[in-house]
Chains A and B, each alone.
Chain A
Amino acid sequence: AQSVTQLGSHVSVSEGALVLLRCNYSSSVPPYLFWYVQYPNQGLQLLLKYTTGATLVKGINGFEAEFKKSETSFHLTKPSAHMSDAAEYFCAVTLYTDKLIFGTGTRLQVFP
Chain B
Amino acid sequence: GAGVSQSPRYKVAKRGQDVALRCDPISGHVSLFWYQQALGQGPEFLTYFQNEAQLDKSGLPSDRFFAERPEGSVSTLKIQRTQQEDSAVYLCASSNRHPRVETQYFGPGTRLLVL
Contact = CB atoms under 8 A, between A and B. Distances in A.
A98 B48 contact: yes
B41 A44 contact: no
Interface string A79-92: 00000000000101
Contact of B31 (A32, A92, A98, A104): A98
A101 B40 CA distance: 16
B42 A90 contact: yes
A41 interface: yes
B106 A99 contact: no
A60 to B, nearest CB: 12
Q: How large is the interface on A (under 10, 10 to 19, 20 to 34, 35 or more residues)?
A: 20 to 34
A103 to B, nearest CB: 5
B108 A100 contact: no
Contacts of A32: 100-101
Which 8 A-B pairs rank lowest in CB-CB distance, beginning with the nearest?
Answer: A102-B42, A43-B106, A99-B45, A44-B106, A98-B99, A43-B108, A104-B42, A102-B43
20 contacts: A4-B42, A32-B100, A43-B106, A44-B91, A44-B106, A46-B103, A46-B105, A51-B101, A90-B42, A92-B42, A94-B100, A98-B31, A98-B56, A99-B45, A99-B56, A100-B35, A100-B45, A103-B42, A104-B40, A105-B42
